[in-house]
Amino acid sequence: MSTTPSYEADAAAGAGAEAAADPAADPASRTARAASFSRGADLYARVRPTYPADAISWMLPRGAQRVLDLAAGTGLLTRRLSERGLDVVAVDRSPAMLRQLRAALPDVETHVGSAEAVPLPDGSVDAVLVAQAWHWFDASRAAAEIARVLRPDGHVGIVWNDRDESFDWTARFGEIVHRGDRLEPDTLHSVATPVVGDAFGPVEKASFPWTHRMRTAELRPLAASRSYLLTLSDAEREPLLAAVDELVATHADLAGREEIDMPYVTVAYRARRR
């Protein structure tokens, strides 16, 4: 089993941030939204989808061996990387999220840390992958840190799972989970090309349609796992979750079904370290 020599210090450093999370945090605050996942770590691990294999292959450079999963969360992408036989290190600022990851993937090296201060040596990894998290970073500082830990010709890969809302039921689900949200919709994050700085070559983009098989009963917890709902009060959250329940019970594509295929379009970006 891989061990992290600095784990105890890392855990102590992150514990304060976890304890400081406010159950009644301001849903219009990006900082509060980013911190909310510590409270929803177990839910996130259970219901969030993984990432398609072809998108992962596209982001990785040929011959990659050691890969950093940055803002790894509960390890949804980490697992896919580990299954390829890669030497994976997972970094996240939330000890609660990393506990979920460590329980599922005990052989993976983990560190509490941020994209703006990555706890790895210079030139120590062949690729840095960021799943569903770039919008929480200070982009210029994160890009500089990613460039620092990458070896020359290494890749940064940034990936988003976007629901395909060309279907009526997915569009209605999306409307519910963003109802009253004053921040930009999550699907806008994947539209803007990430700015990764002069240390990298041109940023390339690719899209990968796929479906995630899930139970209709999981649509409610999937909605509840979102940062917007995690920062709402119980009184504000429950009507949105009730609306999801009503959608499941009444929509022609969902009613009476135990399982459905949630359609996604995974949008990926990659750039090579000069």
Q: What is the pLDDT of residues 181-196, one digit of tens each?
A: 988 665 567 888 999 9
Structure token digits, residue 30: 């990006």
Query: For the chain, what is the radius of gyration of the CA atoms?
Result: 18
The one-letter code for the residue type at 221 is: P
Report residue 10's pLDDT band, with 50, 70 and 90 as the boundaries.
very low
β-pairing, 150-163 vs 259-272, is antiparallel
When pLDDT is averaged across residues 135-152 and rounded to a whole number, the result is: 97
Contact 129, 81 (CB under 8 A): yes
β-pairing, 125-131 vs 204-215, is unpaired
**Mean predicted lDDT score pLDDT of the chain:** 89
12 has a pLDDT exceeding 60: no
Report residue 60's pLDDT band, with 50, 70 and 90 as the boundaries.
very high
Burial 252-262 (b: 16+ CB within 10 A, else e): eebeeeeebeb
Comparing 141-150, 167-176, 190-199, 243-252, the range with the smallest average pLDDT is 190-199
The one-letter code for the residue type at 143 is: A
According to the model, what pLDDT value does residue 11 have?
A: 32
13 has a pLDDT exceeding 50: no
Domain positions in the chain = 7-165+185-212+263-272
When pLDDT is averaged across residues 140-153 and rounded to a whole number, the result is: 98
Q: Please tell me which residue, 34 or 150, carries the higher pLDDT value.
A: 150
When pLDDT is averaged across residues 14-27 and rounded to a whole number, the result is: 45
What crossing angle do the helices spanning 234-250 and 168-177 adopt, rounded to 10°?
170
What is the model's pTM? 0.85
End-to-end Cα separation, the chain, in angstroms: 33
Report residue 235's pLDDT band, with 50, 70 and 90 as the boundaries.
very high
Q: Does domain 7-165+185-212+263-272 have CATH number 3.40.50.150?
A: yes
According to the model, what pLDDT value does residue 15 have?
A: 31
Q: How many whole angstroms separate alpha carbon 87 and alpha carbon 69? A: 11
251 has a pLDDT exceeding 50: yes
Across the beta sheet with 109-112, what order do the strands follow? Answer: 109-112, 87-92, 66-70, 125-131, 150-163, 259-272, 204-215
When pLDDT is averaged across residues 31-43 and rounded to a whole number, the result is: 76
Contact 264, 63 (CB under 8 A): no
Helix (H) or strand (E) holding 127: strand 125-131
Comparing 13-22, 50-59, 182-191, the range with the smallest average pLDDT is 13-22
